[in-house]
Structure formats: structure tokens, C-alpha cells
Amino acid sequence: MSDKNNKKIINAWAIYDWANSVYSLTIVTAVFRSTIILLHRHMEMIWCIFRARV
């Protein structure tokens, strides 16, 4: 039986692909969330300084 038709190998790759996608999503979400929070705080500070000058 070739590896292309082996059900165990196909299932193993499917589970690996799913787990890798979940891991990537978790990492990207955590990094983007912290980056967006940091940028938001920074922009609030800049906006307050700008408004104080006007």
C-alpha cells in the first residue's frame, strides 16, 4: 500500500495541520493583541499632547 492511500498517514497529517493552524492562530492573536494595545496607548498619549497644544 502506498503512503498516499494510507488512512493513518492521511489522518496524522490532517491532525498535524489542524494543530499547527491552531498554534499559529494563538501566537498571532497574542502578538497582535499586545501590539494593538501598545499602539492604542501610545496614540492616546500623542492625541492628548496634540489637543493640549491646540
Would you list the domain boundaries of the chain? 3-53
CA distance 20 to 26: 10
Q: Is-above-0.85 flag for pTM?
A: no
CA distance 42 to 24: 27
pLDDT digits (tens, 9 = 90+) for 1-54: 577 788 999 999 999 999 999 998 988 888 888 888 888 888 888 888 878 876
Distance of alpha carbon 50 from the chain centroid: 33
CA distance 9 to 5: 8
